[in-house]
Every structure is written in C-alpha cells, then in structure tokens.
C-alpha cells in the first residue's frame, strides 16, 4: 500500500502552551527541537518544562539530528486515507509518536532507519514525521 498525504488537524493555537510553543515555532522553520536536561544530561519527549527523569527545570533546547529508528509501528489500513503510525527512537535518545511517510507501508520494518520530514497541518504549524532513510 502506497503512501498518500492525509489531512492532519491541528487543535488549539501554538501560543496556548508555553511548553510546546518553541517546538511549534521551530517546526515552522523546518527544525525539530528536543529538550535536554542540563542536570542529568538526558533528552526527553514530549516537551515539558520539567525533566521527567530528575525533575530539574534546568533545560536546554537542542535541534535534533533528524535521524531515528522505528521502535514499533502500525498501519491504519481501514482509515479513509491509510497511514502508518510509529514510535521512532531519535538519535538523541527519546522515543516519539509520529507517522511514517513517503514509502510503501508493506516495506516498513521495526529497526528501520528513518529521517525527519515535515508535513503541513490544518490551521497550524507543520508536523514532524519520518520517512525511510
């Protein structure tokens, strides 16, 4: 089954949450920011103001390399426009939920290297997705 771009809704406003605002602003520039704790050195995802590993508020926001590996995935074949959801482990360490794009869904494999892309959302910033490397 081949990839076909589907509509991705964006609910809310990028200004409604200060913890994610900088991530959405970076996405508009084609960059993915990943928070990294300066106290324990671990990166995390989903963006938040407190490190989930050690509870420090001393964070830095770093541009991700754009490389990752598929940890797990599922193809939604019964959707109006089929799509592949996945957990991708970023080179920086954290795992994020995303979509796999620009490929035949039957070729997607666990452990497969992927690279970052952005696709438009409806009424919001671009959304980070991944394609086979």
State pLDDT tens for residues 67-114.
999 999 999 999 989 999 999 999 999 999 999 999 999 999 999 999
* CB 94, CB 44: distance < 8 Å: yes
Query: Rounded to two decimals, what is the model's pTM?
Result: 0.91
Distance CA 55, CA 15 (A): 24
State the residue for tokens 């970052």. 116
Distances 81 to 40, 66, 122 between C-alpha atoms, Å: 42, 26, 15
CATH number (domain holding residue 68): 2.40.50.840
Query: Is 87 a domain residue?
Result: yes
Q: Determine the pLDDT at residue 25.
A: 94
Query: Is 35 a domain residue?
Result: yes
- Tokens describing residue 39: 């106290």
Q: How many structural domains is the chain composed of?
A: 1
Query: Is 3 a domain residue?
Result: no
Query: Is 29 a domain residue?
Result: yes
* Count of alpha carbons within 13 angstroms of residue 23, beta-carbon side: 19
Distance CA 68, CA 85 (A): 14
Query: Is 32 a domain residue?
Result: yes
């Amino acid at each position: 089954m081949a990839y076909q771009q589907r509509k991705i809704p964006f609910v809310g406003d990028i200004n409604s949450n200060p913890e994610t605002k900088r991530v959405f602003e970076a996405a508009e520039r084609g960059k993915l920011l990943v928070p990294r704790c300066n106290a324990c050195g671990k990166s995390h995802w989903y963006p938040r103001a407190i490190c989930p590993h050690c509870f420090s508020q001393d964070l830095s926001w770093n541009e991700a390399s754009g490389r990752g590996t598929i940890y797990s995935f599922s193809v939604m074949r019964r959707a109006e426009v089929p799509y592949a959801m996945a957990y991708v482990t970023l080179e920086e360490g954290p795992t994020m939920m995303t979509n796999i794009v620009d490929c035949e869904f039957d070729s997607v494999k666990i452990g497969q290297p992927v690279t970052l892309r952005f696709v438009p959302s409806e009424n919001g910033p671009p959304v980070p997705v991944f394609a086979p490397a």
